[in-house]
Structure 1
Amino acid sequence: MLNQAQRDRIHVVLVAPRNPLNIGAVARAMANFGFSHLSVVSAHDPNWREARSAVGAPELLQSAISTESLAESIGPDTLILGTGSLQFRKPDQPILQLPQLGPLIQQELDRNGRIAILFGSEKRGLSRDELSYCHALVEIPTDPHQPSMNLGQAAAVCLYELACGAIRSDTIQKAAPPQVVDSAILDRLANLIEETMLVARYSPKSMHETNRHDLRVLLRRLNLSPLDSRRIFGLFRRILNRLKK
């Protein structure tokens, strides 16, 4: 299983959860497998920290980070994974089967990355806009007659696969891992490119929201290095300055 230092770089994010008992169930599942970093984005019930379902994990609920913005919650993370079924969505991101989760997490840990695993609202799952922040979607296979899972159950299944599926690498000597670009940098780059597109009148106003979504997806798909991101920043800053002049 993952060691403590590795688990500390894995972050569970609940987006717009509705039921405090489900938040408590997720906290309990996290404690079962040794994870302790939880963020709750735009919770419907402000008293979710008091959930009695967090058996054995009340401290985890108390220390959880609460934000109103998903972008703020995942800013330091370098690999963002959404979860859900494919019954009602056609994601733009690569689709991973649950057994692929462990090896992918291990690969990101090996290059000193930080991982966020996103779980959507019990009512609708992750929206298209929320998925645009993700590098991939992890599919939880279920029977078509009962495709939805309780939020706590879904988290437990994913965390078990993650904890047991990753290959321990702390005893294997490896080359220096490549540097990674976190989500906050990608968002700043997307904002710069979007501003350049607006000044250049790239598309009509009706397309602005679609362009914003597509930019988020594209930049995460490119898997940029820090040097790549700096070069693109410089290029678009120069283009934007010339256009403004």
Structure 2
Amino acid sequence: MKIYTVFVEPETSGNIGFLARSMKNFGLTDMVLINPCELKDDAYYQAMHAKEVVQNASIYDTLDEFFSDKEITSIVGTTGTPGGSYNIPRIPITPEELGKKMNVNGNIALLFGREGDGLTNEELEQCDVLVSIPTSDEYPIMNITHAATIIFYEIFKNKKSYPIDNLDVASYEDKHVLTQLSESIISKLDYPEHKERQANIIVKRIIGRAFIAGRESRTLRGTLKRINSRINNSHEE
């Protein structure tokens, strides 16, 4: 499993250094910076013994550019303002739940948003899974590097090999096909536009949280194709 720690539009180079330091504490080395601020000396100073993480960071202008360059199995977004039953795009899991589910042989992008504003709604909707840290209502928003450390710890403590060697894991493209098939089926169910959008988000998140094996993905894809075909045939009759 390769985990890309993706910092979206960091505003201070010192925080990039702190993030690198936390990454190295928990065995993470692949830092990605999206449209970052200028990397100044404090990025390397704050990184301490993790300077090479900053030096080797990959830099992209946009998230889409990064996604198209790497074979990502799952996109995990972080949010300090989780939603509830009536804010479906922001329904998260806890770091502990995330750590237990990330036991896969794939490439995972772990997104951290801007220091001031976090990830946008559009960026969150691109994610397969959202994770949020339970905090006090009096002061709920954490510093990004503190939040990252908690998430890294939960991932690290649950790290172990799959019980089956060389287990095939569904790729990001496999899950994208499943999502597209589901959206095609949902589009034929005569939902109002807002309910169709919510249903699509829910399906995408369920598929994302599942970390599906390749065999499961292919079987589910075949089933969804048959359902879609039956619906198409019934509409033609």
Q: Structures share a fold, TM > 0.5?
A: yes
- Partner deviation per Cα, 1:203-229 (whole Å, 9 max, x = no partner): 9xxx7xx96x97576345335655368
User: Could you tell me how far apart the structure 1 residues matched to 2:107 and 2:150 are?
Assistant: 20
Q: Which residue of 1 aligns with 2:143?
A: 150
The partner residue of 2:168 within 169, 176, 179 is 179
**Percent identity, aligned pairs only?**
29
* Helix, strand or coil at the partner of 1:157: helix
Please give the residue correspondences for 1:1-245 in structure 2 after superposition, counting only pairs within 5 Å: 6=1, 9-43=2-36, 45=37, 47-48=38-39, 50=41, 51-52=43-44, 53-74=46-67, 75-86=70-81, 90-92=87-89, 94-105=91-102, 108-109=103-104, 112-164=105-157, 166=158, 168-169=160-161, 174-175=163-164, 178-184=167-173, 186=175, 218-222=203-207, 225-227=216-218
Aligned residues: 216
Q: CA deviation at 1:100?
A: 1.6
- Partner deviation per Cα, 1:16-39 (whole Å, 9 max, x = no partner): 221111111101111122210111
**Against the structure 1 CA distance between its residues 146 and 115, is the aligned structure 2 distance closer, same or farther, given a 3 Å change threshold?**
same
CA contact (8 A) 1:93 1:135 kept: no
User: Could you tell me how far apart the structure 1 residues matched to 2:164 and 2:77 are?
Assistant: 29
Gaps of 5+ in 2: 185-189, 229-237
* Helix, strand or coil at the partner of 2:48: coil
User: Could you tell me how far apart the structure 1 residues matched to 2:58 and 2:220 are?
Assistant: 28
Under a length normalisation based on structure 2, what TM-score does the superposition of the two structures give? 0.70
Gaps of 5+ in 1: 1-5, 196-201, 237-245
* Helix, strand or coil at the partner of 1:82: strand
Under a length normalisation based on structure 1, what TM-score does the superposition of the two structures give? 0.68
User: Could you tell me how far apart the structure 1 residues matched to 2:64 and 2:205 are?
Assistant: 14
- Partner deviation per Cα, 1:71-122 (whole Å, 9 max, x = no partner): 33244221222112235783436521222222111xx32xx22222111111
User: Could you tell me how far apart the structure 1 residues matched to 2:171 and 2:66 are?
Assistant: 12
User: Could you tell me how far apart the structure 2 residues matched to 1:17 and 1:91 are?
Assistant: 27
Q: CA deviation at 1:184?
A: 4.8
Tell me the amino acid that sits aligned with residue 29 of structure 2: S
**Against the structure 1 CA distance between its residues 219 and 179, is the aligned structure 2 distance closer, same or farther, given a 3 Å change threshold?**
farther
- Partner deviation per Cα, 1:119-176 (whole Å, 9 max, x = no partner): 1111111111111122221111221111111111111121122212x05347xxx335
**Against the structure 1 CA distance between its residues 149 and 220, is the aligned structure 2 distance closer, same or farther, given a 3 Å change threshold?**
closer
